[in-house]
């Protein structure tokens, strides 16, 4: 075990780094726009002023220090140790993450201004205005100036639970004060509390999900919960992705840790084999509960539905009849029906009780208005557009991006299908190995969703990294994922400005180079006659 004094130094170095980020956020964070005629509670230094630049430098230096400290802590914790031999107790790691989060909870939001959009959407719904049909500016939200201009006229793409939670937060803020400035301050604090509920769910479920697959829970916690990405976008930024992530972890943990047994056909009657479905507490109930929880997650953001088939397969693991590890078809149908039924019922109840409809589906198209290279398909479309513009075809630029995005969605669908097939093949493996492979497949599915969607923001990677953390067996891939995570953490400035906006051409060229390198690597690995590097050998349990 690493020396306690070294771990203590790292713990307090991380605290100092997050404190520096918090101080910098008061100069360069996502502060709402103040009234031009009167100083308000939220006024910060004007953009471009010395105060802003000092805040920005402080935040960036703090983020770099936090990333370095987090990396060193991972090394000290022994991220490549044998599962179950974590270098420090899990509680120590969780308390360290909590300590790092405290300064950011006392600072303005960082990484985006979405929290103000949440407050406005909740206020519209509370006042009887449908946020699925009107944007926050035309809807009359008093805080619409705090929302980026690009999204002020856009309807919300979030589900009924997200809107209702935002409305409840605004209602509580209005009860406490009549000042609209103070109401926004209270609303932001309460929305952070909602996000922290999601973080707490991750803290409770991530170690359990990792243990279910034989993965070291301390390593999983380090990668999936203590990272700078969580601190910026879940703790400080209060994204609703945090609560969605917590619910996804709950939904995967329920079937992964349920008592073995399940639902399977048994022999009965003298007339032959009569399929009798025998349900046990470890079979149907956990997957129904998982479906209900995922219904809550989908009622926040629809992307949570990716976890549903993997939850079903986790419930099917080790639940076949004695001597037969693969479940019977009727068993799988029953589990799938239970998950879908639980999810559909939960979503329907939320939709009806909030008085909202499925208008969020139309709002999803509005998110694609932003064209940035951080989405791999969009970046390739942008690169093609630059070539077409040079060839004298500027009218073909937008269609090139559209076609690239459609191809990306097709590749995303194919990738998820392949992962589900591989997950189904993993079901007959020994229970622990099967669960790890299924959780890893779920993490890869969320990774594909983040990479291949038409638009990408850093907080979209939260689900991918955290689910992967529970399924990665260790080794070099733990560091590779951690390295990508650190790079993604620097893509957005503290005031919410994305660096992709000012790096369009270099970013598009980077996407082309990245796809080219990955193509060459894949060809060398999978070319006929060699290069598989023993990939087909069974993994150790």
Cα 502 to chain centroid distance, Å, stands at 25
- pLDDT score at 471: 94
Q: Average of pLDDT values for 269-286?
A: 46
- pLDDT score at 117: 94
- pLDDT score at 2: 52
390 token code pair: 């040079």
In this structure, the number of other CB atoms found within 10 A of the CB of residue 86 comes to 23
CA distance 473 to 485: 18
For strands 276-278 and 264-266, give the pairing.
antiparallel
With cut-offs at 50, 70 and 90, classify the pLDDT of residue 151: confident
pLDDT at 334 over 70: yes
Q: How does DSSP classify residue 492?
A: B
- pLDDT score at 3: 55
CA distance 146 to 502: 22
Q: Average of pLDDT values for 473-491?
A: 90
DSSP characters for 297-311? Answer: HHTT-GGGGGGHHHH
Which residues lie closer than 8 Å to 295 by C-beta, 6 or more apart? Answer: 342, 343, 344, 345, 346, 347, 350
pLDDT at 30 over 80: yes
Beta carbons of 201 and 208 less than 8 angstroms apart: no
Please provide residue 204's backbone torsions phi and psi, each rounded to the nearest 5 degrees: -80, -30
pLDDT at 498 over 60: yes
pLDDT at 389 over 80: yes
With cut-offs at 50, 70 and 90, classify the pLDDT of residue 61: very high
Region for residue 272 given its phi and psi (left: phi exceeds 0; alpha: psi -120 to 50; beta: otherwise): left
With cut-offs at 50, 70 and 90, classify the pLDDT of residue 66: very high
Q: Please report, to the nearest 10 degrees, the dihedral formed by the alpha carbons of residues 203, 209, 214, 216 taken in order.
A: -10
The residue among 455, 456, 450, 452 whose CA lies nearest residue 468 is: 450
Q: Which helix (H) or strand (E) holds 153?
A: none
- pLDDT score at 316: 87
With cut-offs at 50, 70 and 90, classify the pLDDT of residue 278: very low
Mean pLDDT in the chain?
A: 85
pLDDT at 143 over 90: yes
pLDDT at 464 over 60: yes
Beta carbons of 298 and 247 less than 8 angstroms apart: no
pLDDT at 452 over 90: yes
pLDDT at 238 over 80: yes
- pLDDT score at 371: 87
Q: Average of pLDDT values for 375-384?
A: 94
Please provide residue 274's backbone torsions phi and psi, each rounded to the nearest 5 degrees: -105, 115
pLDDT at 529 over 80: no
With cut-offs at 50, 70 and 90, classify the pLDDT of residue 276: very low
> What's the pLDDT tens digit per position in 79-125?
444 444 446 789 999 999 999 999 999 999 999 999 999 999 999 99
Region for residue 110 given its phi and psi (left: phi exceeds 0; alpha: psi -120 to 50; beta: otherwise): beta
With cut-offs at 50, 70 and 90, classify the pLDDT of residue 47: low
Q: Average of pLDDT values for 387-407?
A: 91
pLDDT at 497 over 70: yes
- pLDDT score at 477: 87
pLDDT at 474 over 60: yes
Q: Average of pLDDT values for 500-525?
A: 89
Helices and strands counted in the chain (H then E):
19, 2
Beta carbons of 511 and 376 less than 8 angstroms apart: yes
Beta carbons of 508 and 382 less than 8 angstroms apart: yes
Which residues lie closer than 8 Å to 16 by C-beta, 6 or more apart? Answer: 65
CA distance 230 to 459: 8
CA distance 485 to 164: 31
Residue 277, beta-bridge partner list: 265
CA distance 95 to 98: 5
CA distance 57 to 50: 11
pLDDT at 502 over 80: yes
Q: Report H helices in 355-475.
A: 360-366, 376-390, 397-426, 431-452, 461-471
Beta carbons of 8 and 92 less than 8 angstroms apart: no
- pLDDT score at 259: 52
> What's the pLDDT tens digit per position in 302-328?
999 999 999 999 998 865 544 446 677
Beta carbons of 155 and 139 less than 8 angstroms apart: no
Which residues lie closer than 8 Å to 66 by C-beta, 6 or more apart? Answer: 14, 17, 18, 21, 100, 228, 231
Residue 373, beta-bridge partner list: none
- pLDDT score at 348: 93
Please provide residue 268's backbone torsions phi and psi, each rounded to the nearest 5 degrees: -160, 155
DSSP characters for 163-199? Answer: HHHHHHHHHHHHHH-S-HHHHHHHHHHHHHHHHHHHH
Beta carbons of 259 and 477 less than 8 angstroms apart: no
pLDDT at 431 over 70: yes
Q: Average of pLDDT values for 467-491?
A: 92
- pLDDT score at 72: 92
With cut-offs at 50, 70 and 90, classify the pLDDT of residue 429: confident
244 vs 361, more confident? 244
The residue among 438, 254, 275 whose CA lies nearest residue 339 is: 254
497 vs 311, more confident? 311
CA distance 195 to 237: 9
pLDDT at 15 over 50: yes
Q: Average of pLDDT values for 52-66?
A: 95
What is the Cα gyration radius of the chain?
Answer: 24
Please provide residue 70's backbone torsions phi and psi, each rounded to the nearest 5 degrees: -60, -40
CA distance 422 to 426: 6
% the chain with pLDDT above 70: 85
Which range among 61-70, 170-179, 259-268, 282-291 shows the weakest confidence by mean pLDDT?
259-268
Q: How does DSSP classify residue 27?
A: H
SS3 category, 277: strand
pLDDT at 400 over 90: yes
Q: Average of pLDDT values for 244-261?
A: 86
| CA dihedral over 407, 408, 414, 418, signed as positive or negative | positive
Beta carbons of 103 and 65 less than 8 angstroms apart: no
- pLDDT score at 266: 34
Place of tokens 């047994």: 261
- pLDDT score at 91: 92
């Amino acid at each position: 075990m690493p020396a306690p004094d070294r771990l203590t130094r790292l713990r307090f170095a991380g605290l100092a780094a997050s404190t520096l980020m918090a101080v910098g956020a008061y100069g360069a964070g996502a502060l709402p726009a103040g009234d031009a005629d009167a100083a308000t509670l939220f006024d910060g230094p004007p953009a471009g002023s010395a105060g802003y630049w000092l805040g920005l430098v402080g935040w960036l230096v703090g983020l770099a220090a936090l990333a370095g400290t987090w990396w060193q802590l991972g090394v000290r914790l022994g991220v490549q140790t044998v599962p179950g031999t974590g270098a420090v107790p899990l509680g120590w790691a969780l308390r360290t993450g909590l300590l790092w989060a405290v300064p950011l909870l006392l600072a303005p939001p960082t990484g985006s201004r979405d929290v103000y959009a949440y407050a406005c959407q909740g206020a519209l719904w509370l006042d009887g205005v449908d946020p699925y049909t009107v944007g926050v500016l035309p809807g009359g939200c008093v805080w619409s100036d705090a929302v980026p201009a690009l999204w002020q006229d856009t309807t919300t793409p979030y589900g009924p639970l997200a809107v209702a939670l935002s409305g409840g937060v605004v209602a509580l803020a209005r009860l406490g004060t009549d000042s609209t400035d103070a109401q926004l301050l209270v609303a932001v604090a309460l929305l952070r509390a909602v996000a922290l509920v999601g973080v707490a769910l991750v803290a409770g479920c991530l170690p359990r999900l990792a243990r279910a697959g034989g993965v070291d829970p301390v390593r999983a916690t380090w990668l999936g919960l203590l990272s700078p990405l969580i601190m910026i976008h879940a703790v400080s930024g209060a994204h609703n992705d945090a609560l969605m992530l917590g619910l996804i972890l709950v939904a995967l943990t329920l079937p992964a840790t349920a008592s073995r047994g399940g639902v399977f056909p048994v022999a009965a009657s003298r007339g032959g084999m009569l399929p009798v479905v025998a349900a046990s507490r470890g079979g149907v109930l956990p997957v129904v509960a998982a479906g209900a929880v995922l219904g809550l997650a989908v009622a926040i953001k629809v992307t949570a539905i990716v976890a549903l088939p993997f939850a079903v397969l986790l419930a099917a693991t080790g639940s076949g009849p004695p001597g037969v590890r693969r479940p019977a078809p009727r068993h799988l149908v029953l589990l799938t029906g239970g998950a879908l039924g639980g999810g559909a019922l939960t979503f329907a109840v939320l939709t009806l009780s909030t008085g909202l409809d499925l208008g969020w589906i139309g709002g999803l198209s509005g998110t694609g208005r932003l064209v940035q290279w951080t989405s791999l398909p969009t970046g390739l479309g942008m690169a093609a557009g630059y070539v077409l513009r040079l060839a004298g075809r500027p009218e073909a630029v937008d269609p090139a991006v559209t076609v690239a995005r459609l191809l990306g969605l097709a590749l995303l669908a194919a990738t998820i299908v392949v992962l589900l097939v591989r997950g189904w093949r993993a079901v007959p493996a020994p229970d622990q190995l099967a669960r790890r492979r299924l959780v890893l497949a779920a993490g890869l599915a969320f990774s594909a969703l983040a990479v291949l969607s038409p638009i990408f923001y850093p907080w979209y990677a939260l689900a991918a990294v955290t689910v992967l953390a529970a399924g990665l067996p260790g080794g070099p891939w733990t560091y590779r994922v951690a390295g990508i995570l650190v790079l993604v953490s620097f893509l957005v400035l503290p005031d919410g400005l994305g660096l992709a906006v000012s790096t369009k051409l270099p970013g598009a060229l980077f996407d082309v180079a990245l796809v080219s390198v990955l193509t060459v690597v894949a060809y060398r690995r999978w070319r006929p006659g060699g290069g598989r590097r023993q990939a087909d050998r069974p993994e150790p349990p």
